[in-house]
Amino acid sequence: MSKITFILRPENKKGEHPISIKHTHEGSPFVKATGVAVQLKYFNQTTGKISNKLPMAPEWNACIAQVYEDIETAARNILGRGGEPDTHSMAIEYTEITTLRLEAGQKKNQQPLQVTQAITHVIAES
């Protein structure tokens, strides 16, 4: 049985924790970084969502959701072909999925969703 969890990496120099997503199937882990890092207090590890108190939350949540969806799709595709979603097969399938999406985006002249820089500020609650 497969399980997907959110992993907070050790704090970086900015005081933020990079977020990764881990898929485990029968003890075989597959981990992908989301490219998003936030302070611990702004991330819900159960839901995998960043607090709306941060102005970049919608974009960052979209990045996290995309990696999660790609991992889920990779596992589903492998199982659908009768395979086991172990680390090696997940790496191959994940790469295939992301490559196809990037190529499709290039054909449409779209840039992939990527947050290159953001400044973290807390929005005051009203």
CA distances from 9 to 31, 59, 126 (A): 11, 20, 32
> For 30, what's the count of Cα atoms within 13 Å in the CB-facing half-sphere?
26
Domain boundaries, the chain: 2-107
> What tokens appear for 60 in the block?
């960052």
Sign of the Cα pseudo-torsion (72, 74, 79, 83, in order): negative
**pLDDT mean by block of 10 residues, the chain; 126 residues:** 93 95 95 96 95 95 96 96 96 94 73 53 48
CA distances from 112 to 16, 21, 100 (A): 24, 19, 12
Give this prediction's pTM: 0.81
